[in-house]
């Protein structure tokens, strides 16, 4: 990563975003840069950096692009150390890199689930641990984690992905207490279905692809219910705007939901007994009937 100017003299805030080659990370990096942050857009594969550099030029903003694979200790070390050496600070870390593992739990191999956690949980912890010493030294910083509505709600056929988001929620909720006295804020942003490449980049458990899987009927119902949700979901720029709001906040809340349906589902989850909420989800998402939950929360 080469920077034309560093933030030591200007006191400009420095933001690092993981998984910036597309989707939420892409939009977040651009929006932070447009709003005065010295932004480092990192990604595992630098060959995918052309789009964000082209868009940054079109918007007349400066973005630094760098290689960072959250699953590799050396990659994280090199990327974060390079930024700290250059800037002397990291004010905002946006943990966005991740992917989805789909399939019923019985048909997920342990190694497949291990890989899921390696990116979505251990990768987040690995990157966060690297920025904490400089944040503690500077007595301030914000760790923003892209979680999901399914970090709070279980849904079939997504058990691998969902378990990683539940783990992320618990990890970061605990770290929020641990880091408070150092002036470091920890936040979870919980989008619902978003118009990104999430489904195409997700991985189906190998055994779940077998046409003779006993779960074929359930998988089909899941596809019919959830694929359209991603096609009609929130724009990634909506999520990016929430991240920007958090990054500029002096006292952010622990959780921010994104999307009307997301807020509605989370409110139902809080208010309904487990048995009622389970019935509600099955009726609205898995039964052979028209989906009842409409945009705006009408039921």
**Residue 205 forms beta bridges with which residues?**
none
In this prediction, residue 294 carries a pLDDT of 41
Give the tokens for residue 115: 């890989």
Domains and CATH numbers, the chain: 10-214+234-258 (3.40.50.720)
**179-217 pLDDT tens trace:** 999 999 999 999 987 877 777 778 999 999 999 999 999
DSSP labels for 169-184? HHHHHHHHHHHGGGTE
The two counts, helices (H) then strands (E), for the chain are 12, 9
Question: Catalytic one among 40, 99, 161, 215?
Answer: 161
**25-45 pLDDT tens trace:** 999 999 999 999 999 999 999
Minimum mean pLDDT range among 5-19, 101-115, 249-263, 269-283: 5-19
pLDDT of 297 > 60? The answer is no
Confidence of residue 290 (pLDDT cuts 50, 70, 90): very low
CA-CA distance, 17 to 246, in Å (whole number)? 14
Name the pTM for this structure. 0.90
- Angle at the Cα of 230 from the Cα atoms of 228 and 232, rounded to 5 degrees: 70
Q: Is 40 a known active-site residue? A: no
106 three-class SS? helix
């Amino acid at each position: 990563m080469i920077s034309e100017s560093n933030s030591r003299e200007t006191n400009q805030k420095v933001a690092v975003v993981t998984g910036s080659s597309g989707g939420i990370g892409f939009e977040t990096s651009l929006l932070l840069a447009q709003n005065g942050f010295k932004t480092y857009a990192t990604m595992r594969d630098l060959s995918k950096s052309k789009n964000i550099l082209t868009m940054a030029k079109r918007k007349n903003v400066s973005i630094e692009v760098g290689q960072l694979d959250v699953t590799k200790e050396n990659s994280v070390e090199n990327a974060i150390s390079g930024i700290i050496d250059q800037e002397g600070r990291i004010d905002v870390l946006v943990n966005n890199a991740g992917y989805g593992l789909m399939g019923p739990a019985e048909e997920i191999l342990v190694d497949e689930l291990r890989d899921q956690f390696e990116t979505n949980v251990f990768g987040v912890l690995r990157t966060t641990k690297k920025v904490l010493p400089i944040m503690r030294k500077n007595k301030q910083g914000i760790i923003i984690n892209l979680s999901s509505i399914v970090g709070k709600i279980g849904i079939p056929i997504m058990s691998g992905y969902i378990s990683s988001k539940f783990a992320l929620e618990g990890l970061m909720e605990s770290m929020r207490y641990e880091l408070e006295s150092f002036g470091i804020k920890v936040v979870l942003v919980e989008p619902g279905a978003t118009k990104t490449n999430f489904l195409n980049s997700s991985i189906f458990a190998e055994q779940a692809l077998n046409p003779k899987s006993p779960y074929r009927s359930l998988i089909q119902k899941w596809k019919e219910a959830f694929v359209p949700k991603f096609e009609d979901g929130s724009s990634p720029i909506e999520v990016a705007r929430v991240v920007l709001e958090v990054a500029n906040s002096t006292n952010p809340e622990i959780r921010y939901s994104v999307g009307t349906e997301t807020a509605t589902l989370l409110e139902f989850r809080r208010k309904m007994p487990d048995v009622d909420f389970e019935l509600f989800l099955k009726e609205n998402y898995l039964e052979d009937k028209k989906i009842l939950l409409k945009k705006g929360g009408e039921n």
